[in-house]
Amino acid sequence: MRIGMCSDVHLPTMHDAEYRISSFIDSMKIAKPDFIVELGDFGIPDERYAPYFEIWNSFPGPKYHIIGNHEMDGGTSLEEAIAYRKMTNSYYSFSRNGFLFIVLDGNDKEYPDQKGYRSYIGAEQISWLKEELKKASEPIILFSHQGIGSDPGNPGERYSIKNADKVRALFEIHNQSKPESRIIASFNGHTHHDFAENINGIWYITINSMAYKWLGEEYEYLRYNEGVDKDFKWIKYTAPYKEPLFTVVEISTEGYITMSGKYSSYVGPTPWELGYPEHLKKFVKPQITKRFMEF
C-alpha cells in the first residue's frame, strides 16, 4: 500500500500556494500511489482558493481530506467545509488493499459552549469509533489532524487531542483483543513538526507542513518583500520552507512502514536565529525525515 501524503498546506497563508500544491500533485501523478491524503488545514471554501482545490482534484486516483482546525476559518461552518470537499462526514472509514483506514475529526467540542479552535474527540465520535473497531477484520491505519500521540507543541501549549490518553487506551485494548485487525499507525499534521514515536506498539507519526513552521508575532520577520507582506500578512510570523514538503508512505503486510524523505531550507533566518526555543530543534526543521518503522 502506497500513500501520497501532505499536511497543513495553508493555501490562504502562502503567496506561492499554487506552486506548492501543484508540486505535490505533479509528483503524485508520477509516483502513482494507491491514493493521496491531506491531513488538514488545506483551505476554506472561497472563490479565491477554488483553483487550488481544482489542482488537488486533478489527481486521477482516489483522494481524501481530513478536517483541520483552520478549515472553519472566516466563519466557515463545519458543514460548509465538508460539503465543499464532497465529503459525507468529518469522520469516516474506507478499505483498500487489505487495510482499513479510519479518519477521525479532532475538532469536537469538549463542552457545549466552547468557542475557538478545538482539539477533542467527543462521545458520539468515540461510540462510532468503537463500532468501527469492533467490526474491523483488516489491519488499521488512522488519520487525524490533531495528534493522538504526544507530539510536543510550543512552550506552554498542548497540541495533541486533549483526551488523547483515553483514545490511545481504546486503541490498545482493541489491539489486545483483536490482533488480526490491530492498529498499526496513526498519522497526523497540525504541529508542523517532523516527528514519530512508538507508544505501546502503535506508531504515531506527525507529517510536517507543506509550507512553514508557525513562530508567532514575537518572531516577526519580513521574509519576502513588502508587496507579499501586504497581501499575505501572516507569512512574517512564520518560518517558510523554500520547497514544499510531502512524502510517499509505504505500508507492507510484511511488517514495516517506510516514508520517503524530503528536505528543504528556510526562507530567511532560521527560527533559532530569531531566538526560538532551542529545545525544539529536534522536531522543528524544514524536512520530512526518511523513515523505516517496523510493526
Q: How far is CA 237 from the centre of its chain?
A: 20
Answer whether 206's CB lies under 8 Å from 291's CB: no
Cα–Cα distance between 52 and 189 in angstroms, integer?
19
The number of helix segments (H) and strand segments (E) in the chain equals 6, 16
Q: How far is CA 294 from the centre of its chain?
A: 21
Answer whether 63's CB lies under 8 Å from 55's CB: no
Cα–Cα distance between 274 and 285 in angstroms, integer?
14
Residue ranges in the chain whose pLDDT is less than 50: 155-156
3-class state of residue 57 by DSSP: helix
pLDDT at 153: 65
Q: Where are the alpha helices (DSSP H) in 198-241?
A: 226-231
Other CB atoms closer than 10 Å to residue 290's CB: what's the count? 12
Q: Is the pTM of this model over 0.85?
A: yes
Could you tell me the domains of the chain? 2-294 (3.60.21.10)
Structure confidence by residue, pLDDT tens digits, 37-93: 999 999 999 999 999 999 999 999 999 999 999 999 999 999 999 999 999 999 999
pLDDT at 150: 84
